[in-house]
Structure 1
Amino acid sequence: MPSTLLEPCEFREEIRKSRFITLAAPINSAAEAQSFIERHSDSDATHNCWAWKLGEHYRSTDDGEPGGTAGRPILAAIQAQDCDQVVVLVIRWYGGIQLGTGGLARAYGGGANKCLQQAGKRLLVKRVLVSCSCTFAELPLVKLRVAELAGLVEQEDFTAEGADLMLAVEPQQVAGLQQQLADLSRGRIRLQGQ
């Protein structure tokens, strides 16, 4: 199951006198990825190579390195780590020794791989939105049942009788949650939007 990063992370290494800094971060949009790249690119560096993946969408660049030696290996590292919603930027300062195309691919892909391996991750769980209404007395139990199924309370609006809730749960958990909430409320709580 794909995962994304909990927070931005960094990995540094020197390969044959060239200095590499790899930065990675979670993203929610292509615009966020581009913003991260623009904020963290170093204009004094020799190359700022990057790749990002967001669902079925992805982009990468070699930023002047020989074609296919930087952006693609970075993207391959993202895919090898089963990451999604991630941007990776590798900044290189040339040290005077040629690495060759294979050496460049190993340096860029390896740095990205090591950075992502050490990063804290969370699974990307597909959830569907459902809504329900409950009384004040039932509210803590509804929240407990949702939490037990690794669901989320997306929205909570209080009414005179209780609360209207918008819940996000995994599709395969909806039927079980419906049954638990019906049992809890003697059939009164019904999930909408299934």
Structure 2
Amino acid sequence: MARMLSTRMSSESILSNAGRHQSLCKQVPGAEHLATAIQPVINNLKEKKSLSLTALENKGRAYDNVVLKDTILDDVVRDISDAAKQYDRKNVGRGIYTDLFPDGKTTTITNASLGKEPDAADQLLLRFNIFEEGNIMLAQLAPLTTAIAGTRTALTAYQQAITDEKIALADEAMAQEGVIRQYEFNFLDATKLFGKLYANRLFPKTPKPKKEELVTETTTA
């Protein structure tokens, strides 16, 4: 009996078998309509597979952007740390570094997880309220605000990319089922038309290694 397709198979394998079946049908008089019948679902699966690949690529790019924005935020936090230390050296007794970084380190922010770092940086942002208007340290406020916003935007885009990929994969799975169903319908129709024995000829078989080697050796010779 012809080997039916399965949801356990990849889209590439399903498309390969469906395409081979279609090619065989086109060569047998009276079976051409089977090739026509399976074409729409083949086209649909190709389209959905392409969309899922695009979604995967978009997710990768979105993640790269999150990492980049996170790195930029890290740099801004370190710049603020350096500026605070320099400020304290020039203004002995003021001690603003510990006001901005109560635990005495930047890593509480920079080593936070990607999703939590913007919130941690927000706490640093709030501590800038200690400075009066005109204070030189307020120049650090805009870069920090921009970096936090950029990281949050990147994270939102990444979450959307994850959702888009899940939807694309679900659509691809449905398209796979469409090809599998039509493949089975074609077998039933072929059996009615030609009988089971002849119908099997219209469905591709997976070559056994030894037979494959024999064909290669014969061709080479």
TM-score by length of 2: 0.23
Specify which structure has the higher proportion of helix.
2
Flag the structure with larger Rg: 2
More strand by share: 1
Which structure ranks higher in relative contact order (CA pairs < 8 Å, sequence separation ≥ 6)?
2
TM-score, length basis structure 1: 0.26
